[in-house]
Copies of this chain bind each other. A is one copy, B any other.
Amino acid sequence: MLSVCAMYAQKPTDYVNPFIGTEGMGHTFPGACAPFGIVQLSPDNDTIPHNVGGKYQPRVYEYCAGYQHGDSTIVGFSHTHFSGTGHSDLGDILVMPGTGAIQLNPGTATDPDSGYRSRFSHDSEKASPGYYEVTLSDYGIRAQMTASQRVGVHRYTFPQGSDGHVVIDLQHGIYNYDGKTLWAEMRVENDTLITGYRITNGWARTNYTYFAISLSQPIIEYGYTDRQKTDYKGGWGKFPQFHNFPEMAGRKLVAWFRFDTAKEPVVEMKVALSATSTEGALLNLRAEAAGKSFEQICKGTENAWNAELETIQVEGTEDQKAMFYTSYYHTMINPSVYMDVDGSYRGLDRNIHKAEGFTNYTVFSLWDTYRAEHPFLALMKPQQARDMAISMIRHQQQSVHGLLPVWSHMGNDNWCMSGYHATSVLADAITKGLDIDKEEALKAMIKTSNVEYYAGLGEYIQLGYVPLDKTATAASNTLEYSYDDWTIYHTALLAGDTKTADTYRKRAMYYSNIYDTELGFARPKYTDGSFKKDFDVRQTYGEGFIEGNSWNFSFHVPQDINGLMKLMGGDKKFIADMDELFGMDLDPKYYEDNEDITAECLIGGYVHGNEPSHHIPYLYAWTSQPWKTQYWLREVMNSKYLNHIRGLGGNDDCGQMSAWYIFTAMGFYPVCPGTDQYVFGAPYLPYMKISLPNGKTLEIKAPAVSDTNRYVKEVRLNGKPYGKMYITHDDILAGGTLEYIMSAKPNKKRGLAASDKPYSLSE
């Protein structure tokens, strides 16, 4: 069979290169998925924990997406993956085909023959949105994958005359540790239908993954082993329990299924997932895959991707188009749909809820994605953005803490990173007119911001800052809470609740309590009000900030850049600090032990590969030298986003890096989500045509743009000169033409008037 998904040229999907970011820091996966689909069917490489000095060492970081391009073996194809994260989990329901003697252990990368894994060559790999293909060279099996939102479809073509089988390993996982799988069960319902589930204690503390597998040809023999036998036998001994016995269970369950591949060399498996039940998985299987061929599902998903991607048409080099559409593609992998086709989903309280009037989503890496990913979806995918916001509110309502999601996936919160930035997403969605109940949202935001046992929040409320003696990341927590409080203030204003607005306006200024005005940077304080001594603004470790140094983090006051500038020493000093940030030669000692910050992701001391700095290039807009933004943005675009396996200068972080790319390519960026403003930078591509969700069209023109002509001389909106340093959400939704007149020289006169400056809480 031809790769059907590769037959249709000149579509946006033809430009998507799923291999971008699969080597190094990108942490993307090359496998098959549908837009916002929960099934992300992708090859896993050497994710297996290693026995280091007798201790089982799970792979926390490098295999977040299950795949590293440098590996030479594939251990199997699992159905759930993160896209671009900095912490790993998932890899649920591993399927691996084989021939000959059945092996039930994965084996090792150094000795692939010791297990079921196989060597492979990248030459045999193909990937496009919704399609992945590879040849498993140890077996001569051609493996093809596609997926709908809830169903992964495998097609294995076995060699002529081979004795083929498939292994399903329910212990396998990404960031696995001994005991991660709490329990698994599997039922062979009939010779072409398998159901089952597993429960894991992973980064999602309690994760229920149910499945239903429909087969294209009958199983002729099967069996299983439980690598960790139970002491409890009951009367099971009266059965041939491990051979052709349809009821399997165990902590470390690995099953095998033989097929008559000599007679029919192709085995197709449709694997539907559900978080509620095998009944839910069967429902999903029937709704999305029953009666459909591999080609139909693959084509359907390719069409779905094109429908999403063709809403933006761009001109540029082939590499630029690849980068653009791959970025757009990456913005629609996570968050992912987390409910059955009938709306049933598993809530934070482990109960089964029905999503009434919305689609429930999961995988919210909010410390990353509140910045650009969610604002981007609010602009281009408002229906999904609205449903994600409601999903967050439901999460809060089901949380025993009353907390909005922090870093949540699969009905759990793993509490990774800091802040309560879901408030930003809600405020932004409300500001941008998405259909969300303001009062309900505000209630969830207020409750969240008052959970006193959450990471120094009680002390923050009491003292006006998080003290360093309470929390190691006290300073960044203070900055993040303060911005989040501004989003509550802003929402309360929109909801007409002035009393709440007053309260949170004060809290939105708490950031100012930790600036050392002599030093001109943020600096953590102790409970007694004294600043930390022996403080190094370049140092990432132990200085009170999370994954960032003070030099970067001090700029994190998106709600009040004017106020911030004063604290940091005024316009000149602020500009000088930014200039130095981009220009400095940062000693590696300041970051070398941090897995999220490498030389690859730096420009001077500016860390594009990690999120806290993402808005910094745009901050020149508030100063007397706005044009400097334009210079540095192109430097970032040219160096941190390459059409190459190692093309991402940091974790894609569930679309945040990619959404940054798209906004920046358009020429503007939501520095302060919650406002209706996008702050101007400089466009990256000569032409872009945006089909807006409201049916209107916005053309963005910058015909002269180039590395030389990187400066914006003038902006014209619908033909008229436009002098403000920002464009509003309504301006964009009105459609028309946004034209950038580019130049090799900066226009140092533009955007200097106070009335042209973007939003700031203080004047």
Known: A189-B400, A249-B206, A351-B279. A234 touches B414 (CB 8 A): yes
Q: Chain B: which residue is nearest A246 at the CB level?
A: B400
Residues of B within 8 A of A187 (CB): 349, 400
Residues of B within 8 A of A236 (CB): 205, 414-415
Residues 225-261 of chain A, each 1 if its beta carbon lies under 8 Å from chain B, else 0: 0000011101110111000111101010000000000
* Structural contact, B351 and A454, CB atoms closer than 8 A: no
Residues 171-215 of chain A, each 1 if its beta carbon lies under 8 Å from chain B, else 0: 000010111101101011100000101010111011000000000
* Structural contact, A417 and B235, CB atoms closer than 8 A: yes
Known: A182-B183, A400-B247. A415 touches B235 (CB 8 A): yes
**What is the predominant secondary structure among interface residues of chain A facing chain B?**
loop
Distance between Cα atoms of A455 and B245 in the complex (Å): 13
State which of B183, B230, B238, B279 has its C-beta within 8 Å of the C-beta of A454.
Answer: B238
Distance between Cα atoms of A244 and B235 in the complex (Å): 43
* Structural contact, A453 and B239, CB atoms closer than 8 A: yes
* Structural contact, A238 and B202, CB atoms closer than 8 A: no
Residues of B within 8 A of A188 (CB): 400
Distance between Cα atoms of A350 and B201 in the complex (Å): 19
Q: Chain B: which residue is nearest A230 at the CB level?
A: B201
Write the nearest CB–CB distance from A402 to chain B, whole angstroms: 10
Q: Does A278 contact B (CB under 8 A)?
A: yes
Q: Chain B: which residue is nearest A473 at the CB level?
A: B238
Residues of B within 8 A of A244 (CB): 453
Number of interface residues of A (CB under 8 A): 57
Distance between Cα atoms of A245 and B401 in the complex (Å): 9
Write the nearest CB–CB distance from A249 to chain B, whole angstroms: 6
Residues of B within 8 A of A416 (CB): 234-235
Q: Chain B: which residue is nearest A451 at the CB level?
A: B239
Residues 401-436 of chain A, each 1 if its beta carbon lies under 8 Å from chain B, else 0: 100001100000011111000000000000000000
Q: Chain B: which residue is nearest A58 at the CB level?
A: B231
Known: A188-B400, A350-B197. A406 touches B235 (CB 8 A): yes
Distance between Cα atoms of A175 and B230 in the complex (Å): 13
Distance between Cα atoms of A185 and B349 in the complex (Å): 10
Distance between Cα atoms of A566 and B417 in the complex (Å): 82
* Structural contact, B278 and A350, CB atoms closer than 8 A: yes
Distance between Cα atoms of A471 and B202 in the complex (Å): 43
Residues of B within 8 A of A448 (CB): none
Residues of B within 8 A of A205 (CB): 232, 234, 236, 249
* Structural contact, A183 and B203, CB atoms closer than 8 A: no
Write the nearest CB–CB distance from A449 to chain B, whole angstroms: 15
Q: Chain B: which residue is nearest A353 at the CB level?
A: B279
Q: Does A277 contact B (CB under 8 A)?
A: yes
State which of B180, B185, B350, B417 has its C-beta within 8 Å of the C-beta of A206.
Answer: B185
Distance between Cα atoms of A232 and B234 in the complex (Å): 32
Write the nearest CB–CB distance from A493 to chain B, whole angstroms: 30
Q: Does A352 contact B (CB under 8 A)?
A: yes
Residues of B within 8 A of A232 (CB): 175, 177, 180, 201-203, 205
Distance between Cα atoms of A177 and B234 in the complex (Å): 13
Q: Chain B: which residue is nearest A186 at the CB level?
A: B400
Distance between Cα atoms of A230 and B400 in the complex (Å): 21
Write the nearest CB–CB distance from A724 to chain B, whole angstroms: 40
Q: Chain B: which residue is nearest A282 at the CB level?
A: B351
Distance between Cα atoms of A255 and B87 in the complex (Å): 30
* Structural contact, A199 and B182, CB atoms closer than 8 A: yes
Q: Please list the residues of chain A having a beta carbon within 8 angstroms of any beta carbon in chain B.
A: 56, 58, 87, 175, 177-180, 182-183, 185, 187-189, 195, 197, 199, 201-203, 205-206, 230-232, 234-236, 238-240, 244-247, 249, 251, 277-279, 349-352, 400-401, 406-407, 414-418, 453-455, 471
In the assembled complex, 13 residue pairs joining A and B whose CB atoms fall closer than 8 Å, in A order, are A180-B231, A183-B206, A201-B251, A203-B234, A205-B234, A234-B415, A238-B455, A239-B415, A246-B400, A246-B401, A247-B401, A279-B349, A279-B351
Beyond known contacts A179-B231, A236-B415: 6 more, CB 8 A cutoff: A182-B183, A183-B199, A197-B350, A235-B416, A278-B349, A278-B350
What are the 3 closest A-B residue pairs judged by CB atoms, nearest first? A235-B415, A234-B414, A238-B455
